[in-house]
Amino acid sequence: MPRIVKVVVPDEVKESEIARWVAEGLSRKIFRKIIVEFLSEGVEINFERALEEFERTRDEVWKKIEKEYRKRGLI
């Protein structure tokens, strides 16, 4: 059952900000619960594959950055 909690906030704080803060707090709590459950089941990581994917992604990003720098005349 939901609880009702009364909180006094300054007048300049908008109701939408309060709703966002509550939603962010709840999402962090739910996220932590999901992560703990996931990690308790064990995690298999293929480090070689992960490194290859990282290097491929890094190369793609640097190509985009280099292209943008050339376009702006920085290199």
**What is the rounded CA–CA span in Å between residue 71 and residue 63?**
12
- Predicted local distance difference test score (pLDDT) of residue 12: 93
Q: Where are the domains of the chain?
A: 14-43, 45-75
How confident is the model over 1-14, as pLDDT tens digits? 778 888 888 999 99
Q: How confident is the model at residue 51 (pLDDT cuts 50, 70, 90)?
A: very high
Q: pLDDT confidence of 41, banded at 50, 70, 90? A: confident
pLDDT of residue 71 exceeding 80, the answer is yes
Alpha-carbon distance of 45 to 66, in angstroms, equals 31
Query: Can you give the pLDDT at residue 3?
Result: 84
Enter the pTM of the model: 0.42
Q: What angle do CA 34, 40, 44 make, to 5 degrees?
A: 100
In 4-71, which ranges are continuous DSSP H helix? 15-40, 47-71
